[in-house]
Amino acid sequence: MIEEKIITRAIVTEYLQRLERVVSSDVVIAGAGPSGLVAAYFLARKGLKVTLFERELKLGGGMPGGGMMFNQIVVQKEAKELLDHFQIRSREFREGYYLASALEATAAITLRAIQAGAEIFNNITVEDLKVIEDKVCGVVINWTPVERAGLHIDPLTIDARFVIDATGHPAEVVRKLESKTNQKILKGEGPMWAEVGERLIVENTREVYPNLYVCGMAVNAVFGGPRMGPIFGGMLLSGKKVADLIITKIW
Ligand code: 48F
């Protein structure tokens, strides 16, 4: 016999317990694109309490779409080691250009992040930050359907020692901070130039305001670096770098 009420109880109880556990997190990440997922994995692997909120139903951000929906990604040699680390199969297409399945890459990194202990909540949007005495100390969240329907429903707050903006091109979290604190932080991303974009994204991955870090495409949006299209090595390396920076700061 299968009882629907038991299924409902199981789902509701477990979800609420998970949400309750993350109310005070070590690190909150906004956005489950490649950079946010990689950061989540490396931070969770260190034993930190990592919570990732993703606005959409699906995870992976721009990665599953590959280039113009051709669901392949290209990764340069500097990041090949990360493909191997996540057990993503790849082949060298031309010297230094590694080709992988966008779906395999998305699935593999997502799986490893979850299995490392990162708590991922999809369908939840980070709509604001908690800032006390000029330090970020948490995020303000709401259900994405509430945001989309424009319902007047107050959000909830999650405390965090560190917050990572991994929201991609819009750099939404930094943008929100800018609007609330009246400071100019965002330069806006430049036109396509893959080589420079890939380099700058890693170089500029850092803390941009006390306890607020950026990784992935949000980095180039903040620092005025160019976009780079469907080459993903910089995203993976940036996710790893932001995790390393936070780990170094904590220990
Ligand atoms: O855009 P996205 O994939 O970010 P990324 O990790 O990677 C960029 C590449 O996909 C691609 C590229 C490669 O060369 O340029 O664009 O920097 O993923 C960002 C994720 O953040 C979610 C969004 O739905 C997406 O899945 N997101 C955006 N704003 C919010 C958010 C928000 N306010 N709260 C929660 N999630």
Q: Give the residue extent of every domain in the chain.
A: 24-250
Q: Cα(36)–Cα(242) distance, rounded to whole angstroms? A: 9
Query: pLDDT digits over 71-86, tens only?
Result: 999 999 999 999 999 9
Q: Is 85 annotated as a binding residue?
A: no
Q: In this structure, what token pair is assigned to residue 51?
A: 């919570």
- Tell me 44's DSSP state: H
**Ligand 1: which of 173, 235, 241 to mutate, most ligand atoms within 8 Å of CB?**
235
Q: Cα(2)–Cα(246) distance, rounded to whole angstroms? A: 46
Query: pLDDT digits over 130-164, tens only?
Result: 999 999 999 999 999 999 999 999 999 999 999 99
CA 87, chain centre distance (Å):
20
Pocket of ligand 1 (CB under 6 A): 30-36, 53-56, 61-63, 125-126, 166-168, 172, 216-218, 227-232, 235
What residues pair up with 162 in beta bridges, in sequence order?
Answer: 27
Atom 9, ligand 1: which residue's CA is nearest?
A: 62
Considering the entire predicted model, what is its pTM?
0.98
What is the pLDDT, as a whole number, of residue 183? 86
Contact 74, 90 (CB under 8 A): no
Architecture of domain 24-250: 3-Layer(bba) Sandwich (3.50)
Q: Cα(212)–Cα(203) distance, rounded to whole angstroms? A: 17
In the chain, the amino acid numbered 20 is: E
